[in-house]
Amino acid sequence: MDILTNVLTTAIAPSTAAFALAAIGLNFHFGLTGLLNMGQAGFMLLGMYGFAISLSNGLPIWLALIIGLAAAAVFALLLGWPTLKLRGDYLAIVTIAAAEMVRFLGRSQSLKDLTGASSGIRGIDYKEPFETLSPFPDSIVTIGPISMHGSRSSSWWLTTVTWGLVILFSLIYWRLSKSPWGRVLKGVREDEDAVRSLGKNVYSYKMQALVIGGVIGAFGGIMWALGNSVQPDSMGRPTTFWLWTLLLLGGAATVFGPMLGSVLFWSALTLVKGVAGAVIPDTVLSPTELEPFSLVLVGVTLMLLVIFRPQGVLGNKKELAFNG
């Protein structure tokens, strides 16, 4: 029973929603436009740095939010400016390197006063303004089998806001992907030169997609930071790969794919961890080995998924497969 409660808690957790949010951003990049952004974690990290540093220096929360999102937008412009004129692979190389640069810059001792170097920024330094906005009680609240704090950290308040944002951005994705604007992006995904020959400014459309997806990614990062803390190493390459995994799991180029993918991915991980912990004796697999073991199992499952259902759970096989 504990295992199921854990799975359920993970399924609705704010960090699951935050990942869904970042994956929606990635869906703008890859699902709609075909851009290979391999550095979405960098966008998340920049967002949370901009947000947390602004708040810990006493700026109002709305300004901090704008600064966090603007940082990601500027980052997207800088990355896109030289690379979007080239073929897709260049963007992949540049984004993965740039995301690592952001992380290493954040970790560097010379920026300790600003970013807290490798230990990051403690939640207590920036979470309060958001938590005081909470209409929920300032204590543990139990709904059904799930207990969370009403307002602090990974709370019902944060859960509500983050899932609200997931729904909002899913709606935005739906509206845009069904519009003539989205049609141009899909055209770019299929063949840039053809779209160019039809009189569309491909560079500008790719840039718009990169900025929008990056800003949504930063939003995901900010919401994640509100439930955890700003920790550069938690936004490394694995985070980007998880985002890709859950996007492809749910189904790229679909409205609900990122949301479903995030819930499935994190729930499955918790379930596997819980079951393995209960079934496998400590002498065979020590508790510290459980985490990597469950990741291996989830990885194998995903490989099977890629082989047998390449369009993801919700995807349209004709429209989007991995090899497409």
Partner 1 sequence: MAETTAFASVAHEPGAAKPDAILVADGVVRRFGGLTAVNVNHFEVQRNSITALIGPNGAGKSTFFNLLTGFDMAQEGEGVFNGKPLKGMPSAKVARAGMVRTFQLTKALSRMTVIENMRLGAQEQPGENILTAFVPPLWSARERQITEQAHELLHRFKLYEKKDDYAGSLSGGQRKLLEMARALMSKPTMVMLDEPMAGVNPALTESLLDHIVELKEEGMTVLFVEHDMHMVRRISDWVVVMAEGQIIAEGPAGTVMSNQAVQDAYLGAHHDTDLSEERDA
- Please, are residues 184 and 200 in contact by the beta-carbon 8 Å criterion? yes
The SS3 assignment for 261 reads: helix
SS3 of 87, please?
coil
Q: Tokens 């944002």, residue?
A: 165
- Interaction site with partner 1 (CB under 8 A): 172, 175-176, 179-184, 186-187, 189-191, 193-202, 208, 212, 318-320, 324
Q: What angle do CA 78, 112, 216 make, to 5 degrees?
A: 40
- The smaller minimum CB distance to partner 1, of residues 103 and 189, is found at 189
**Residues near 167 by beta carbon (within 8 Å), at least 6 away in sequence:** none
Closest CA to 13 of 213, 173, 153: 153
Closer to partner 1 by CB, 120 or 315: give it. Answer: 315
For partner 1, the closer of residues 64 and 211 by Cβ is 211
As measured in angstroms, the least distance from the Cβ of 127 to partner 1 is 32
For partner 1, the closer CB: 196 or 309: 196
CA distance 287 to 290: 5
Q: How far is the CB of 130 from partner 1 (least distance, A)?
A: 27
Structure tokens at 243: 């985002």
Closer of 144 and 180 to partner 1 (Cβ): 180
Instruction: Please state the closest distance from residue 189 (CB atom) to partner 1, in A.
Output: 8
CB atoms within 10 A of CB 192: 19
- CB-based contact 313:251 (threshold 8 Å): yes
Tell the smallest beta-carbon distance from residue 202 to partner 1 (Å): 7
The CB-of-167 to partner 1 minimum distance in angstroms stands at 16
Answer for the pair 267, 249: CB distance below 8 angstroms, yes or no.
no
112 or 175, CB closer to partner 1? 175
Q: How far is the CB of 7 from partner 1 (least distance, A)?
A: 35
Query: CA 17: distance to chain centroid?
Result: 8
